[in-house]
Amino acid sequence: MPKNPTDSDESAYDNTARALKHEPQTPDVLTADMGLISKIYESELEVIGAIACDLIRTRGVLNFSDIILRLIVQLELTGNLLQKRTLRNAISLVVNKAPPEE
């Protein structure tokens, strides 16, 4: 039977340390891959998928906050008006699917 985090201080510490690793880390997220920024995406799902794959590849963790932050960075850095519309729509999709913050 798996141990409950309250069974020992050590397992509670391990669970807390694991949880802390999954918190969004702004500097890491802001250093978006320039290849992602320069690419023109045809759909909102394509850009969200590319960002999700990059976050998993680089950080091993995926959460709504990091996806939204990457989308905002790309929106600020692109000059293409069609791309801006796609990125705004992608932000809207992710924000509407994100669970409420506690």
* Domain ranges across the chain: 26-97
What is the pLDDT averaged over residues 51-68? 93
Q: What is the pTM of this model?
A: 0.63
pLDDT score recorded for residue 39: 77
pLDDT score recorded for residue 38: 63
Q: Tell me the CATH number for domain 26-97.
A: 1.20.5
The Cα 41–Cα 70 span in angstroms is: 14
What is the pLDDT averaged over residues 83-96? 95
The Cα 90–Cα 68 span in angstroms is: 9
